[in-house]
Chains A and B, each alone.
Chain A
Amino acid sequence: MTDLAIEATGLTKSYGKTKALAGVDLAARKGTVLGVLGPNGAGKTTAVRILATLLRADDGVATVNGFDVRTEANLVRQNIGLTGQFASVDDDLTGTENLVMIGQLLDLPVKTAKARAAELLAWFDLAEAAKKKAKNYSGGMRRRLDLAASLVGRPPVIFLDEPTTGLDPAKREDMWDVVRSLVSDGSTVLLTTQYLEEADALADEITVIDHGRVIAHDTPHGLKRVIGGQRLTVHPVDPARYDDLLTLLSGMVPVDGHAPEPNGRGALTIRVDSDDVLPDVVARLRAAGIAVDEFSLHLPSLDEVFFTLTGTRSGESRDFDDTEEVPA
């Protein structure tokens, strides 16, 4: 047996004419986090649903903890927890009732199921809401309950499909801590996300997919080396100085040959491969007398990642009818 908890080769899936997956390979080593990064409609959810046995691939092979998702679906189901993009908890049941029901379906004795429910509710900071119906929970609480529900059976492999979409930043950090503690307990996590920042913070390896294809697979470090680490976004106070700013920044980056990119709202973004550049930029701005009201350093957005990897914006040609893909 390999040390891979998740292994998928050549997964394809079409809905009518729409190609949701056009041959995707995924691999996650045991006890690690695999980040699957991609925009809406890239095929992330389809891939997760196939691996979680909710959906059958048209073609390709996938195993989870060594079990084939097609021929050994029930064994796969004994080994996974799934938290979907939309919290799938029962609104009319209380937090406790939701979790106890899952425990009983996993053949835990009632007493054990209740104890496990209480333990999870406490861990996810839901103990006070345990007796409230899930419909009265806030969005963040529902997400936590949903995640708790997928952990009742202590599954060794956990799928998290965009677990932080729609959560405020503080709640997102909490979710990240949960993922980290799951992995430190030995679980394998496959996490889909639209944020490079999230993948960077959690994943041991990142697979970038777009239009149902893998366009990159690397460690966060390796990926950042390709797409360039940080981005510096500068916005001039006076819009009339935009061209001067462009000239100034263009003069700074011949090192790697990447021209500054316009970043909407009259701002410009350049790749920064070394922190040394920053004081230099500030000095030149002062010398040129260009006042700026934004000067921010950040990881590239998904849009910028895709621009670097594919030369097109991720939002482009998202129209599925045109995606009768160029042969690779």
Chain B
Amino acid sequence: MSAMILTGGASTAPHKRFSLKHALVLAKRDLIKMTRTPEQFLDVTLQPIIFLSLFTYIFGGALAAGSQHKYLEFLLPGMLAQTIAMTSVAIGQNLHSDIDKGVFDRFRALPIGRATPLIGAVLAQFTRYLTVCVVTMAIGYILGFRIATDPLQVLAALALAICFAACFAWVSVFVGMTVRSAGAVQGVMFLFIFPLSFGSNVFVQTTTMPGWLQAFVNVNPLSHLVSAMRGLMLGASAGPVDVGAQVGWTLAWCAILLIVFFPLALRGYIRRA
């Protein structure tokens, strides 16, 4: 019987390579779970609606020389970037509680690549990223936001945001594998996210800040993402931005996040046996 299984086309390598098909099967599992608890979508639907409306009308008058419309144009790309980075909190929490429940023991005992359950979970997050994009653009349109470039550049901006979110998610996965309770994931993640999202150019022009803060804001990965998205969505009205360079910096940060946190997350997962 064992011989039959071995020659039955299955890989005989001692270590199973990663298979996208397996990851998609596991991503589908997460999607089914998401559709059965739609509350999980609140942070990617209601939250962008509320935040974008609130910030536009509360700060707009004060920050953009009385023009809420001008502030909306400035804010929307930043708000989208901040929201999509924040969505990452959920994945660490979900993975932590999944592992507590023992479902992952079953995956560990299956002949699939070790990282597959984690990759599947990140793939499932793409539905949430897309939701953020669609909801934010829609509410922006209703409030009066108009793109100043072309649809292709806007799609590029959204793709860049999604790419950043998918890489940043690995920070959350790592935290989820490391902390002792699912609730702690949120606390630790906010320690990462708050300095990144408020110590950035999301809400105000960097030039209004003291020099030492500008130094941080200018290397902040979220600032690069926001600058790139503003350039791609608003064109010349975004001010003098080297869009290509900002896209390059954003992608470089994506690579760094992935290179550092993917192995850390995987190690945390393997150790958490």
Contact = CB atoms under 8 A, between A and B. Distances in A.
A65 B1 CA distance: 10
A54 B110 contact: no
B106 A65 contact: no
A80 interface: yes
A139 to B, nearest CB: 14
Contacts of A73: 14-15
A97 B33 CA distance: 11
A75 B14 contact: yes
Nearest to B112: A105
Nearest to A79: B2
Interface stretch (B4-12, B123-131, B255-263): B4-12
Given A92-B32, A92-B37, A105-B26, A78 B111 contact: yes
B58 interface: no
Interface in A150-187: 150, 153-154, 156, 186
A106 B110 contact: yes
B2 A90 contact: no
B29 A93 contact: yes
Nearest to B5: A78
A156 B4 CA distance: 10
Given A84-B105, A186-B1, A75 B32 contact: no
B106 A74 contact: no
B32 to A, nearest CB: 6
Nearest to A100: B25
Interface residues of B, number: 35
B124 to A, nearest CB: 13
B25 to A, nearest CB: 5
Contacts of B12: 75
Residue of B15, B111, B273 with most partner-chain A CB within 10 A: B111
Contacts of B6: 75, 78
A20 interface: no
Interface in A89-137: 89-93, 97, 101-102, 104-107, 133
Contact of A49 (B22, B28, B32, B273): B273
Residue of B13, B25, B110 with most partner-chain A CB within 10 A: B110
Contacts of A49: 273
Interface size class of A (residues with CB under 8 A): 35 or more
Contact of B110 (A55, A65, A86, A105): A105
Contacts of B11: 74
B33 A92 contact: yes
A4 to B, nearest CB: 12
A323 to B, nearest CB: 22
A224 interface: no
Contacts of B32: 92-93, 97
Given A84-B105, A105-B25, A106-B111, 19 more contacts: A52-B109, A54-B105, A55-B273, A73-B14, A75-B14, A77-B16, A78-B6, A78-B111, A82-B109, A84-B102, A89-B103, A91-B101, A92-B33, A101-B25, A102-B110, A104-B21, A105-B110, A153-B5, A156-B2
20 contacts: A52-B109, A55-B273, A56-B273, A74-B13, A74-B15, A74-B111, A77-B110, A79-B2, A82-B109, A86-B102, A88-B103, A88-B105, A90-B29, A97-B29, A101-B26, A102-B106, A105-B25, A105-B26, A153-B5, A156-B1
Interface of B: 1-2, 5-6, 9-16, 21-22, 25-26, 28-29, 32-33, 36-37, 101-112, 273
Interface of A: 49, 52-56, 65-66, 71-75, 77-82, 84, 86-93, 97, 101-102, 104-107, 133, 149-150, 153-154, 156, 186
